[in-house]
């Protein structure tokens, strides 16, 4: 992730892309791809995320050291970054880079799974409430408000205490609490979109309610949904870190980036141990940023009218 | 009205040439006593009151009236698209089958497949995120099971039918890449995709400039010839009606005021409102000079507080005190296929004849 890549001039690529723009009718997918690849930050973010996910999920093969084996010579001796240990070693004498890759497995899994689940649930609830209105809207909105007033962290802590601290439980609990925001966004969007004449036209052509929602309204809000999806990836990873930091999340020997931060909170004032906080924190930051950039890129790529603006 | 007469198409074409049209039971679409009211905070809005008319196979009926005269509400009522709080009474029969009060499921099978609608603002009525071809395909797929390839072929065919050049390339474009006239054509292509019997065109040319208007009307005309569907053309433009329609219905404040074939309405109208409308048109055969265009004095009434008696009486130059402002005039048969809702229609007609 060098900043230089981001700022580097983009003219050559740009010209090439525009030159062939109107030549032949393209498929939806081709158009989508062209618009997406024009968004450099998003492309870079995608590459970073793919590489990172790959490295994390195949950590057993990728990581330079086996985190289950202890190097007794390093035990208790915290060492800063070096050629052999890129991110230094921790108090258990483990290579921090290897630990981070393994921890990323859980953080990323939670992030993506929670975002996907809560977005699907939220979009379903929100669009039903917005489109059908009246009675259904009142019930669904009451449920949404109910979830919103509940102090999330407290509920999370209790639920995890009750169901256990496995990542699956964390995913479902976070998703169950996290869908309300997208539900509200969706409801609002659907409320305004359903007044559009093309929805009226769809009704006049005999389309049923679900068909209108899925085929006529939702495609018009891919943008907001995409943005929300990416935001909630970031949100879920951060919430998981918070929970773990407070001791309610993932329990050792499993580890996540949040847990790594929590384990090393004592390092704040100790410059020799600073890297123990710095690297997990940096990973969180990189993932959250990349996911947000990716969201921007996807949103633009999904909008057919943004075709000529870059 | 009470006995549903199934129609036999063979008879229909003959019937079409026979004089008695209004009482015709073989009408494709038959509206009787349709009344639509909307409850609002200010009171009950009388959007449409006691409407009765027939639409026959293979004809174009023009519905003329100013904004708020109930034209669009009538078309929405026919499609069952009025909001749930609307109070609808009366009867709308399509091929003898009652449409008023039918559940949504039944109406969905009628909409698009049997009665389709062309909207005024094609840019708004086309979904901005779909390619035009996909939208036409979607309109077909709503009613029929067809493969993607078949749908696409049909979409190209339809675009060609409405006169879009290079349809094979145009199917893959988005609505914002179309010009105004082409959008309206695409909209028409969408509405005829399922070969409906009745096409309701709600001000199809209002958003277009005059040359494009003529082209779009031509397309409508051609569609009617090719598909033998009937058209209900809603407009506030008498010029458009004169060019396309065979019969005209004039509406004022939610009521029918005059109805008849195009010649009758344009040359032998005897309702003061229609006469006012016609004389407010700029005409080539009249000396221009410093003469101003005629106008109808006053404003159309509020639909919540309709004036007592004839809704037009406060603006009517022929209004008679204690008659016109007390009795709501019925639509009366005044000669062959000509009905007028004016108490003084005969007097007016006689006066016009003496004046020459």
> Which residue in the set A198, A208, A305 is minimally distant from B176, CB to CB?
A305
| Chain mean pLDDT for chain B | 84
Total residues found in chain A within this entry: 310
Residue B14 domain flag: no
Per-position b or e across A114-151, b if 16+ CB within 10 A of its CB: bbbbbbebbbbbbbbbbbeeeeebeebbeebeebeeee
Q: In what order do the strands lie in the sheet with B198-202?
A: B115-118, B198-202, B230-235, B60-64, B247-252, B255-261, B338-340, B332-333
Q: Do B128 and A219 touch (CB under 8 A)?
A: no
Q: Are strands B198-202 and B43-55 parallel, antiparallel or unpaired?
A: unpaired
Residues ≥6 apart with Cβ < 8 Å to B350: none
The ipTM estimated for the assembled molecules is: 0.76
Residues A259/A249, Cβ–Cβ less than 8 Å: yes
Give a three-class secondary structure readout of chain A: CCHHHHHCCCHHHHHHHHHCCCCCCCCHHHHHHHHHHCCHHHHHHHHHHHHHHHHHHCHHHHCCCCCCCCCHHHCCCCCCCCCCCCCCECCCCCEHHHHHHHHHHHHHHHHHHHHHHHHHHHHHHHHHHHHHCHHHHHHHHHHHHHHHHCCHHHHHHHHHHHHCCCHHHHHHHHHHHHHHHHHHHHHHHHHHHCCCHHHHHHHHCCCCHHHHHHHHHHHHHHHHHHHHHHHHHHHHHHHHHHHHHHCCCCCCCCCCHHHHHHHCHHHHHCHHHHHHHHHHHHHHHHHHHHHHHHHHHHHHHHCHHHCCCC
pLDDT at residue B24 tops 70:
no
Residue B312: which of B324, B323, B303, B322 has the closest Cα?
B324
Q: What is the pLDDT of residue A80?
A: 64
B223 and B268 share one domain: no
> Could you give the CA distance from residue B154 to residue B139 in angstroms, rounded to a whole number?
11
> Which residue in the set B130, B139, B172 is minimally distant from A205, CB to CB?
B139
pLDDT at residue A199 tops 60:
yes
Residues A309/A61, Cβ–Cβ less than 8 Å: no
**Mean pLDDT (whole number) for A62-87:** 66
pLDDT at residue B76 tops 80:
yes
> Could you give the CA distance from residue B283 to residue B266 in angstroms, rounded to a whole number?
13
Task: Calculate the CA B153 to chain-centre distance.
Answer: 31
Residue finishing a domain among B217, B245, B273: B245
Residue B165 domain flag: yes
Residue scoring higher pLDDT (A181 or B5): A181
B345 and B273 share one domain: yes
pLDDT, tens digit (0-9, with 9 covering 90-100), for A266-275: 766 777 777 7
Residue B138 domain flag: yes
> Could you give the CA distance from residue B165 to residue B215 in angstroms, rounded to a whole number?
13
B185 and B233 share one domain: yes
pLDDT at residue B11 tops 60:
no
B224 and B121 share one domain: yes
Residues of chain B by 3-state class (helix, strand, coil), percent to 5: 35, 20, 45
pLDDT at residue A83 tops 90:
no
Q: Which residues of A touch B192 (CB under 8 A)?
A: none
Residue B174 domain flag: yes
The matching CATH number, chosen from 1.10.3720.10, 2.60.40.420, 3.40.1010.10, 1.10.3210.10, for A34-69+83-306 is 1.10.3720.10
Burial of B187 (0-12, 13-18, 19+ CB in 10 A): buried
> Which of A92-106, B262-276, B304-318 has the lowest average pLDDT?
A92-106
pLDDT, tens digit (0-9, with 9 covering 90-100), for B126-163: 988 888 999 999 999 989 888 889 999 999 999 998 88
Residue B40 domain flag: no
Q: What is the pLDDT of residue B23?
A: 44
Distance, in angstroms, between B38 CA and closest chain A CA?
A: 18
Residues B139/B194, Cβ–Cβ less than 8 Å: yes
pLDDT at residue B227 tops 70:
yes
Q: Do B127 and A211 touch (CB under 8 A)?
A: no
Q: Do A204 and B111 touch (CB under 8 A)?
A: yes
Q: What is the pLDDT of residue B140?
A: 92
**Mean pLDDT (whole number) for B2-8:** 43
pLDDT level of residue B92 (50, 70, 90 thresholds):
very high
Residue B49 domain flag: no
| Owner of token pair 């549903």 | B4
pLDDT level of residue B16 (50, 70, 90 thresholds):
very low
pLDDT > 70: percent of chain A: 77
Report residue A145: phi and psi, to 5°.
Answer: -60, -40
Q: Residue B333 forms beta bridges with which residues?
A: B339
| Chain mean pLDDT for chain A | 77
Distance, in angstroms, between A196 CA and closest chain B CA?
A: 7
pLDDT at residue B90 tops 50:
yes
Residue B118: which of B79, B150, B157 has the closest Cα?
B79
pLDDT at residue B329 tops 50:
yes
Q: Do B142 and A206 touch (CB under 8 A)?
A: yes
Domain ranges in chain A? 34-69+83-306
pLDDT > 90: percent of chain B: 20
Residue scoring higher pLDDT (A86 or A136): A136
B319 and B202 share one domain: no
Residue B79 domain flag: no
pTM of the predicted model as reported, rounded to 2 decimal places: 0.74
**Where do runs of H (alpha helix) occur along chain B?**
9-17, 71-79, 104-110, 122-125, 132-141, 148-161, 167-170, 180-191, 210-227, 238-244, 262-268, 272-279, 345-355
State whether residue B223 is helix, strand or coil.
helix
Q: Do B142 and A305 touch (CB under 8 A)?
A: no
B211 and B275 share one domain: no
**Mutant choice from A26, A195, A205, A300 vs B, greatest count of B C-beta within 10 A:** A205
> Domain residues for B181?
112-245
Distance, in angstroms, between A295 CA and closest chain B CA?
A: 18
| Number of structural domains found in chain B | 2
CATH classification at residue B130: 3.40.50.300
B130 and B232 share one domain: yes
> Which residue in the set B79, B121, B127 is minimally distant from A204, CB to CB?
B79
As a dihedral over the C-alpha atoms of residue A190, residue A192, residue A194, residue A198, rounded to 10 degrees, the angle is: -120
pLDDT level of residue A22 (50, 70, 90 thresholds):
very low
Residue B189 domain flag: yes
Q: Residue B60: left if φ>0, alpha if ψ -120 to 50, beta else—which one?
A: beta
Q: In what order do the strands lie in the sheet with B29-40?
A: B43-55, B29-40, B87-94, B97-98
pLDDT at residue B12 tops 60:
no
Residues A226/B129, Cβ–Cβ less than 8 Å: no
- Locate A295 and state its tokens: 């969201």
B324 and B349 share one domain: yes
Q: Do A200 and B111 touch (CB under 8 A)?
A: no
Q: What is the pLDDT of residue A74?
A: 62
């Amino acid at each position: 992730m060098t900043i230089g890549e981001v700022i580097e001039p983009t003219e050559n690529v740009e010209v090439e892309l525009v030159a062939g723009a109107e030549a032949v009718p393209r498929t939806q997918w081709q158009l989508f791809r062209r618009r997406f690849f024009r968004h450099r930050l998003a492309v870079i973010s995608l590459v970073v995320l793919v590489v990172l996910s790959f490295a994390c999920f195949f950590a057993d093969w990728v990581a330079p050291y086996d985190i289950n084996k202890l190097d007794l010579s390093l035990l208790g001796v915290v060492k800063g970054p070096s050629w052999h240990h890129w991110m230094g070693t921790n108090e258990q004498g483990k290579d921090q880079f290897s630990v981070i890759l393994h921890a990323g497995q859980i953080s990323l899994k939670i992030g993506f799974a929670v975002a996907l689940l809560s977005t699907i649930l939220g979009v379903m609830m929100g669009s039903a409430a917005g489109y059908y209105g009246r009675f259904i809207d009142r019930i669904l909105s009451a449920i949404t408000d109910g979830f919103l007033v509940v102090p999330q962290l407290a509920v999370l802590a209790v639920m995890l205490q009750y169901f256990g601290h496995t990542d699956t439980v964390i995913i479902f609990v976070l998703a169950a609490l996290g869908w309300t925001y997208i539900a509200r966004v969706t409801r609002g969007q659907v409320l305004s979109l359903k007044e559009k004449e093309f929805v009226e036209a769809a009704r006049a052509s005999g389309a049923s309610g679900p068909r209108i929602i899925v085929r006529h309204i939702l495609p018009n809000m891919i943008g907001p949904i995409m943005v929300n999806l990416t935001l909630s990836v970031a949100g879920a990873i951060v919430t998981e870190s918070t929970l773990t930091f407070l001791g309610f999340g993932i329990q050792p020997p499993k580890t996540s980036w949040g847990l790594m931060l929590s384990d090393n909170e004592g390092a704040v004032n100790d410059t020799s141990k600073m890297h123990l906080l710095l690297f997990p924190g940096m990973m969180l930051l990189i993932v959250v940023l990349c996911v947000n950039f990716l969201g921007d890129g996807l949103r633009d790529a999904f909008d057919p009218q943004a075709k000529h603006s870059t | 009205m009470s006995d549903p007469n199934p129609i036999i198409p063979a008879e229909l074409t003959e019937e079409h040439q026979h004089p008695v049209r209004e009482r015709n039971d073989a009408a494709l679409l038959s509206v009787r006593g349709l009344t639509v009211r909307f409850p609002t905070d200010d009171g009950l809005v009388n959007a449409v009151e006691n409407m009765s008319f027939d639409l026959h196979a293979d004809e174009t009926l023009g519905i003329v009236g100013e904004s708020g005269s109930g034209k669009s509400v009538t078309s929405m009522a026919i499609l069952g698209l009025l909001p749930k709080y609307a109070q609808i009474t009366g009867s709308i029969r399509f091929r003898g089958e009652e449409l008023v009060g039918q559940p949504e499921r039944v109406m969905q099978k009628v909409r698009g497949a049997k009665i389709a609608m062309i909207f005024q603002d094609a840019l708004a009525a086309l979904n901005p995120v779909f390619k035009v071809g996909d939208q036409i395909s979607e309109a077909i797929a709503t009613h029929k099971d067809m493969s993607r390839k078949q749908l696409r072929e049909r979409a190209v065919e339809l675009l060609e039918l409405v006169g879009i050049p290079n349809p094979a390339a145009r199917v893959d474009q988005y609505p914002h890449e179309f010009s105004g006239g082409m959008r309206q054509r695409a909209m028409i292509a969408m509405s005829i995709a399922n070969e409906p019997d009745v096409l309701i065109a709600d001000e199809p040319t209002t958003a277009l400039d005059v040359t494009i208007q003529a082209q779009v009307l031509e397309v409508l005309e051609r569609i009617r010839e090719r598909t033998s569907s009937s058209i209900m053309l809603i407009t506030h433009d008498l010029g458009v009606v004169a060019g396309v329609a065979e019969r005209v219905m004039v509406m004022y404040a939610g009521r029918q005021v005059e109805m008849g074939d195009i010649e009758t309405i344009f040359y032998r109208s005897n309702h003061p409102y229609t006469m006012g409308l016609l004389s407010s048109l700029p005409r080539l055969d009249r000396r221009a000079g410093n003469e101003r265009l005629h106008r109808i004095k006053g404003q159309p009434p509020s639909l919540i507080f309709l004036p007592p008696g004839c809704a037009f009486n406060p603006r009517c130059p022929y209004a008679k005190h204690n008659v016109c402002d007390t009795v709501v005039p019925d639509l009366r048969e005044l000669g062959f296929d000509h009905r007028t809702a004016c108490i003084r229609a005969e007097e007016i007609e006689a006066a016009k004849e003496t004046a020459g």
